[in-house]
Structure 1
Amino acid sequence: MSPEATEDDALYQAALEEIDDCQSQIDSLNEQASEEILAVEVRFNTLRKPHYSKRAEIIAKVPRFWITAFMNHPQLSLSIPEDQQHCLQYLQNLLIEEFEDIKNGYKIILKFDPNNPYFENDTLVKEYRLEVSGQPKSVVTPIKWKPGKNILNDNSEKGSRKRKAFENSFFSWFTDSNHSNLDEIADILKDEIWPNPLQFFMMPEALSEEGDDDGDVDDEEDEDDEEGGEVDEGDSNYDTD
């Protein structure tokens, strides 16, 4: 090997080591930023709590608030078959509680009308947490179904469309203690619906208002045409014989 090739290899290796050193410093700063961001999030979670509590009290007075918000979400609605829609009409409140160390997990709390005809529970909780080993784990409240009301009993033929919908349903997600693809429902509840459920509750009305606005514009254009009067044939660009 020529001396020039040896020198080039040494320069190449030195450059890689310098890049690696820079990257280590960047990674260290990224870790520091993550810790500080988490600290800020914890502080603001504390500030948000009284507002969440007040919101929950008001929402409990609005009939069918949560099932309406759920069914207006384009993805979540696909996981709520008709029989589960009836059950979720009795859902009075959804709450998300993050652990004090938010890196370790959170709880999804579902509060139902105590007189609901489906189960004896008035509160169902699904908890997501990290084990000491770093592996995710979920713990769920066992549902105490009333006689003949277990909507998870499904005798459809395996592989059928109805069976597939059942296996990917809201209550199938809730009762599943494995960390599975159904946990997309948890992500939707925590990250999309919980921060601002009103936007989903109001969604059809908002869309309707947008449609009405478009109609108003069309009406105004029609009115402008009418106010302009008839077009003088003499002004027409078309020749008539």
Structure 2
Amino acid sequence: EALEALQIELQPVNKQASREHARLKLRMWQRRQRHLQQRSALIQGIRGFWAKAFVNHPQMSALISKPDESMLRHMTNLKVEEHKFPRECRKILLFFGKNSYFQNEVVTKEYVLGLDGYRASHSSPIQWYPRYRQEAYRRRHDNSSLNFFNWFSDHSFAGSSRIAEIIIEDLWPNPLPY
């Protein structure tokens, strides 16, 4: 009975702690957003910044082929969004300037966050220009060709969750070392 009474007394304390934690997370998220927006504005002025960060990352570099690197040079921004509803997920957004490979200004890939890590759930289709469509198709169906844009298009891509983890937890929060 004493243990049960103590547990009952503990419930409002736990609820209060949860509310305070949620408020603190929101405040920190708001402060962080201001800095991330400023960082994004600065990075957009540095030509090829994200391509260089991806290529110089020790684990991502193995995934990026020469054609991928050429495409990534047109990447102007990277953004990671966190969504809590209807389920916890992360959305990776890659922004591109005009290029001769595809029409998309933004390509996205979403990952649901579970107990076992990130699981790909959706990605925007890449709208290849006709002169590159056949090459993209060939590269996508060549199983020996491990490359960045295959990862983007294919949810069953081996190592997909690890790539998401690198982008979400390493490249996005702190790209400067690369």
| TM tier, smaller | 0.7 to 0.9
The Cα of 1:178 is off from its aligned counterpart by 3.9
> Which residue does 1:182 correspond to in 2?
160
Worse-matched range after superposition: 70-79 or 176-185: 176-185
Report the Cα distance in structure 2 between the residues aligned to 1:79 and 1:62, rounded to whole angstroms: 23
The Cα of 1:64 is off from its aligned counterpart by 0.8
The Cα of 1:170 is off from its aligned counterpart by 1.1
2:65 is the alignment partner of 1:62: no
**TM-score when scaled to structure 1?**
0.58
| Closer/same/farther in 2, CA of residues 53 and 178 from structure 1, 3 Å limit | same
Report the Cα distance in structure 2 between the residues aligned to 1:84 and 1:184, rounded to whole angstroms: 18
Q: Which runs of 5+ in 2 are unaligned?
A: 1-6, 8-13
Name whichever structure is richer in strand by fraction: 2
Contact kept in structure 1, 2:109 and 2:120, CA below 8 Å: no
**Helix, strand or coil: the match of 2:137?**
coil
Q: Which runs of 5+ in 1 are unaligned?
A: 1-24, 26-31, 201-241
| Closer/same/farther in 2, CA of residues 193 and 37 from structure 1, 3 Å limit | farther
2:96 is the alignment partner of 1:74: no
Q: Name which one, 1 or 2, has greater alpha-carbon Rg.
A: 1
**TM-score when scaled to structure 2?**
0.76
| Closer/same/farther in 2, CA of residues 51 and 102 from structure 1, 3 Å limit | farther
Which structure's relative contact order is higher, taking Cα pairs within 8 Å and 6+ residues apart?
2
> Which residue does 1:45 correspond to in 2?
29
Work out which of the residue numbers 132, 135, 144 in structure 2 matches 1:149: 132
Report the Cα distance in structure 2 between the residues aligned to 1:176 and 1:46, rounded to whole angstroms: 33
Question: Over aligned residue pairs, what C-alpha RMSD do you find?
Answer: 3.4
Deviations 1:134-159 (A, max 9, x none): x955111111100121353226996x
Report the Cα distance in structure 1 between the residues aligned to 2:153 and 2:26, rounded to whole angstroms: 29
Contact kept in structure 1, 2:94 and 2:106, CA below 8 Å: yes
**Helix, strand or coil: the match of 1:76?**
coil
Identity score, percent: 33
Name whichever structure is richer in helix by fraction: 1
Count of residues in correspondence between the two structures: 162
> Which residue does 2:99 correspond to in 1?
116
